[in-house]
Amino acid sequence: MNKKAFPFILGLIAILMIALAGCASGSEDDGASGSDDSDNESGSDVEEKTINFMHLWPEGSSRQHHLIVNDIIAEYEEANPGITVETEILGNEQYKEKLKVLSSSNELPDVGMTWAAGFLDPYVGGDMFAPLDDIIENDHSDSFVPGTAEAYAIDGTTYGLPLELNITPVMYNKAIFEEHGVEIPETFEELKAAVQTFVDNDVIPITLGNKDSWTGSMWYMYLADRIGGAETLTNAINRSGSFEDPALVEAAAKVQELVDMGGFVKGYNGLANDEAKGYFINEQAAMYLMATWDLPQWTTDENNPQEFRDNVGYFKFPTVDGKGDKNSYVGGPGVGLFVAEDSPVKDEAKDFVSFFVEKWGEQAVSNAGVIPATKVDTENVELPDMYIDVLNDLNEASNITLYADVQMSASVAQVHLNMIQALFGGEVSPEEFAKEQEDALAAEEE
């Protein structure tokens, strides 16, 4: 019996020793990457500085983005001897969570990624992000597409430099449309007629992953835009208007008309966007409202069959009863770069951000299929036709309304997203839908 215990304890001690050795070797080189303050004091002729850069383009899922980032960093380090850029890369959700935890201890990376409006508001309120107006004035006064950098401004000061710009057209499957003799709908009535045809023929008219309710929100936003004009929803959110505006209620009613017809894929409220997209890629669904960040999947992504990609087209969201401007879009900038206010290398970080935005703009479309928020010179790049069309549409856009959940403060956005699910699920009437959000917005104003 005793024989059993001794090997056990011996093994245990051995493993603990290995563990400690692992820790010890860890702590030795810890200082090298971790803190940059200590390194500064060693008085070599070139001052060594490290910029910590946290981004969300891992090699696995965003290979091209990842490579461009590494390229830009290499180029920057080359041009600025003594400066090293250390990256930390996380997936989308984990990135947001970690940013939150880091900021609670004022440990933000020197440079990181942020979203516009509602997302960065608390960070600005907590003096976490550095103003970047000087960069825009000095280096980028004419680089950005109008309206994009403004989305990162609070009270006239800009805290983020946008990297991407998207609009949201309705993607559709040309083959399915042709097979059922459906034309591209110009008006909401035609859209409904198209939906009816698909319903009658057992084709999924519209696929929608409304578990991530920002997807359903885009449908609602378009209807609100077409019925009430570009400003109504924005005004309701910025409190110069009301969410109980008749146009906003009517838009909700129109959503339910589509729902009642069976316009959306079965179980949409339980489907994630990825799952819903699957029906479109497998050519089971005729239409899919999604922003242009997915363009690579419709054009160049080899993982999707060539026949499918050839069948994908897009059209502008229809008008409603002849009202509305088809050149008004839901969309806006996605991620942008911030510089931490308390960064020990703030000047270098700002310089890097400025450099990054410029280089990113040159490479993003051609190498990663991302439409940057900086102006794109379409003359000199080889692009699939769909990109050219989208870029032209962008130039002709009369208005781009930023995604409602991004415009709103985080807690109101939660109400909005819940209400979108309830509206699509038929749990609330259009009036209740509007009132609930009006209440949330009004409560916050106090």
Partner 1 sequence: MTKSNSSLKTKNKSYNNSLGNRIGLGLLYLVLGAVALFQIYPLVWLFFFSLKTNAEVFGTSPFALPKDPQWGNYLKAWVDGGVGAYFFNSVWVTVTAVILTVLFASFVTFAITRMDWKLNKLVLGLFMVGLMVPIHSALIPLFSFFLDLNLIDHPLSIILTYTAYNLPITIMILLGFYYTLPREVEEAAVMDGCSVHRIFFQITLPMTMPVISTTAIINMIYNWNEFVFVNTFISSDKYKTLTVGIQNFIGQYLTDWGAIGATLMISIIPVLIAFFILSNRIVDGIAAGSVKG
Partner 2 sequence: MKQVMSNKLIIAMYTLPALILILALVYVPIVMTGYYGLMEWDGIGAKTFIGLENYIGLMQDAKFWDSAYHSFLLAAFSTLSLVGYLVISLVLANKLKGSELLRKIYLIPMLLSSVAIAQLWLKIYDPNNGMLNSLLEIFGVENTPTWLADPKLVLISIFIAIIWQYAGFYIIIYSAALKGIPESLVEAARIDGANPIQIAYKVKLPLIAGVIKVTIVLAIVGSLKYFDLIYVMTGGGPNGASEVLASYMYKEAFASYNFGYGSAVGFALLVICLIITWLVRKLTASNEEIQY
- Site residues for partner 1 per CB under 8 A: 1-2, 4-5, 8-9, 12, 15-16, 18-19, 22-23, 26-27, 30, 33-34, 56-63, 65, 88-94, 97-98, 100-102, 104-105, 107, 274-275, 277-279, 281-282, 284, 293-294, 297, 303-305, 308, 334-335
Alpha carbons 285 and 276: distance in angstroms, whole number: 9
Of the pair 241, 334, the CB lying nearest partner 1 is at 334
Of the pair 9, 79, the CB lying nearest partner 1 is at 9
Phi, psi of 95, rounded to the nearest 5 degrees: -60, -50
Of the pair 330, 415, the CB lying nearest partner 2 is at 415
Query: 267 contacts which partner out of partner 1, partner 2, none, CB within 5 to 8 A by kind?
Result: partner 2
Q: What residues line the site for partner 2 (CB under 8 A)?
A: 96-97, 100, 103-104, 122-123, 125-128, 204, 210-213, 265-272, 275, 279, 284, 409-411, 413-414, 418-419, 421-422, 425, 427
Alpha carbons 321 and 26: distance in angstroms, whole number: 67
Is the CB of residue 375 less than 8 Å from the CB of residue 365? no
Handedness of CA 76, 77, 78, 79 (dihedral sign): positive
Query: 67 contacts which partner out of partner 1, partner 2, none, CB within 5 to 8 A by kind?
Result: none
Residue 92's closest CA among 70, 130, 60?
A: 60
Q: Which residue has the tokens 């009517």?
A: 250
Smallest gap from residue 218 Cβ to partner 2 (A): 17
Query: 143 contacts which partner out of partner 2, partner 1, none, CB within 5 to 8 A by kind?
Result: none
Alpha carbons 388 and 261: distance in angstroms, whole number: 35
Of the pair 195, 400, the CB lying nearest partner 2 is at 195
Query: 268 contacts which partner out of partner 1, partner 2, none, CB within 5 to 8 A by kind?
Result: partner 2
Alpha carbons 407 and 405: distance in angstroms, whole number: 6
Of the pair 142, 202, the CB lying nearest partner 2 is at 202
Which pairing describes strands 49-55 and 336-339: parallel, antiparallel, or unpaired?
unpaired
Of the pair 55, 416, the CB lying nearest partner 2 is at 416
Alpha carbons 109 and 87: distance in angstroms, whole number: 9
Is the CB of residue 344 less than 8 Å from the CB of residue 108? no
Alpha carbons 128 and 343: distance in angstroms, whole number: 9
Query: 5 contacts which partner out of partner 2, partner 1, none, CB within 5 to 8 A by kind?
Result: partner 1
